[in-house]
Chains A and B, each alone.
Chain A
Amino acid sequence: MSVDTVGTRTDFPAEPPEHPTAPYLRMERIPHVWCPGCGIGTVVQCFATALERSGVDLDKASVVSGIGCSGRAAGYLKLDGFHATHGRAIPFATGLKLGRPELLVTVFSGDGDLSGIGGNHFIHAARRNMDLLVILINNFIYGMTGGQNAPTTPLTAKSSTMPFGNFEPPFNLPHLAASCGAPYVARWTCLHIRRLTWTLEEAIQRKGFRLVEVVAPCPPLYSRLNKLGTGLDGMSFYHDNAVIKHGADTRDLGIDFQESIVCGKFVDEEKPTFSELMDTHYDRVLGDKYVPMAPEGGWLHE
């Protein structure tokens, strides 16, 4: 169908066919809150596709978000969804996972939420190798509150609280996670739809603390404050400046203002999770006396 025929078609079905992602979304909540050109919706789509392809039992999949634009994702995914407090998605998810070990628990939140106010939880969950899939949308800014400086804002980039440009060195998040022991660390931009989907599909099958960072544009704030154009311009920038280097040294993954963004899978190793370490240790030191928590949760009743 060419562009000039739009509006002249008459053979639309009475009911439009269901969107393929609809079964994974709370369609009654659509339209969502995200701005035109925002990358978060793309990542939700990729995650839903990855869930479908991986064939996991969706009844046993939970998603936990903190606060912020990305933090709204838990509200749109048709899973058990928990919209927790600012920065606390990871510890909330830790309780959820340990309270019912059979769950697949995904944390879906933003850079400010997970690495700013929640930074301490981030490093400790990585250190413990808590069995969580963490999808971190990095748009370099606090979007929900109006474009303030984030721990990820590149040097010299402008934000509403660094109107003359940021002078604080930002986090290199893959390196932060990897150096705390995370066994699975990857980064894509939201232009890399297929690769991101593959990565998420793979990450769902892995265990332990898995970080998938997704660089995404924020057209009304980050892009506007820094005169970077529209969402489409953001995509063009990713197209021209994203460099895929699987296995790259995570020390080299810092992001400079409008410089190249190294993408790929940087860490993928097998490591015992917190729960596995606990089980193995107590089995060894306590033997028959050790009673692990049941997969479906702690003592309930009947």
Chain B
Amino acid sequence: MRPDPAGVLTGAHYLDGDFACGEGAMAAGCRFVAGYPITPSTEVVERISRRFPAMGGTFIQMEDELASMAAVVGAAWTGTKAMTVTSGPGFSLMMENIGLAAMMETPCVVVNVQRGGPSTGLPTMVGQGDVMQARWGSHGDYEVIALTPQSPQEAFDLTIDAFNLSERFRVPVMFMMDECVGHMTERVVIPEPEEIDVVPRVLTDKSPQEFEPYSVNGTEIPEFARAGDGYRFHTTGLTHDERGYPVMSVDCQETCVSRLLDKINDNADEIVRFEEEGIEDAEVVVVTYGITARVARLAIDLARAEGVKVGLLRLIVIWPFAERRIRDLARSVGAMVVPEINYGQLVLEVERCAGGRCPVVSVTHGGGGVHDPAVIAKKIIEAGASRT
């Protein structure tokens, strides 16, 4: 359906990634944001807090990130689209209630503008070291969806997609920006409302008597009732049955948790997104994401100038992982090179999916800056040479 025009700032703008993300959220219909200030993400909520009062949105600066995430889950249960925004240290604090959102199957978006870590790390400087945390950060087994924009334009476009995916799958979606994208200012074109697709919160049409909050009837995603519509439902972070009642049993755990995993994994082909360049005859494929994908393109140019046949697989959705595509590529290419601004995180997934069928080379960077394209190029050239 079409968005509420009040949230769509149609036109060509010169915006940083943080502002663009905020605009994307408002265009997607987000009308509740709770957050706690943290560099380099704060500009997102600064933008939103300035624009929300004119569109029926509420921003609240909570006392910490624990509270921010809890408030987002609460607001999402009223049917209001909700988001929070943070960076590494705050992301760590949010993990408790990200788990709650996953367990309660709460649609919401968590923006993490990644900086260098661990701990307080490099508050104003770039990192990509939270990509595993986005997937595994809360305890127990659950699945999330995570996206990585490479530009302010994508910070806008993909934030809308993040909301749409969260609605479609009733899952918290991690929007994994990085400081570089968040703080770079570029042209951002915001389309007319008629050109934007948003997935609405679909409310159940069952009667309160027949409604059960976690009944799926053969589908994988339960129907949603919001607080205040007379359903008088119950939901809990405890392992629960279709009625949302706690049941402490092996059987209920199996049913409850496996569906949290299946609803994402069984639909991975619909969710996974990537972009390919020059893959057809590639001997080496660079697999990367976020700001590093832009830098890697320069490295690819350098390597091609040296005669290496090299292509790019840019991951847009990093969770669920592009497992099938990596598996297929591993059969046909000589090597994969994985640059990322961390000491080797998503490369572990690439290795897992390649399954030994081709060598996988990690190009690490501790954070605080992006890779020198020449460093990535050298790894590509080496990988290409070992192939021939």
Contacts and interface: CB of A to CB of B under 8 A. Distances in A.
Q: Do A and B touch, yes or no (CB under 8 Å, in the complex)? A: yes
B74 A293 contact: no
Given A75-B234, A85-B237, A92 B73 contact: yes
Interface in B197-234: 200-201, 226-234
A177 B237 CA distance: 28
Nearest to B63: A124
Interface stretch (A165-173, A196-204, A225-233, A294-302): A294-302
A-B pairs, top 5 by smallest CB distance, nearest first, are: A298-B31, A95-B74, A99-B75, A99-B78, A95-B71
A93 B78 CA distance: 11
Given A83-B235, A91-B62, A298-B57, A29 B245 contact: yes
A82 B225 CA distance: 13
Nearest to B7: A299
B258 interface: no
Interface string A118-148: 0011001000000000000000000000000
Interface string A263-275: 0000000000010
A124 B70 CA distance: 14
B53 A289 contact: yes
B78 A81 contact: no
Interface string A73-101: 01100111111110110111111111110
A147 B245 CA distance: 26
B232 A293 contact: no
A299 B100 contact: no
Interface residues of B, number: 56
Interface stretch (A8-16, A37-45, A57-65, A240-248): A57-65
B56 A83 contact: no
Contacts of B53: 282, 286, 289-291
B231 to A, nearest CB: 7
Interface residues of A, number: 52
B60 A94 contact: yes
15 contacts: A80-B227, A82-B74, A83-B246, A84-B74, A85-B99, A88-B66, A88-B96, A94-B34, A94-B74, A99-B76, A99-B78, A291-B6, A292-B56, A297-B228, A301-B201
Given A83-B236, A96-B78, A100-B80, 5 more contacts: A79-B232, A98-B58, A99-B58, A120-B67, A293-B56
A256 interface: no
A282 B51 CA distance: 12
A29 B31 CA distance: 35
B93 to A, nearest CB: 11
Contacts of A286: 53-54
Interface in B333-382: none
A259 interface: no
Given A80-B232, A96-B227, A300 B200 contact: yes
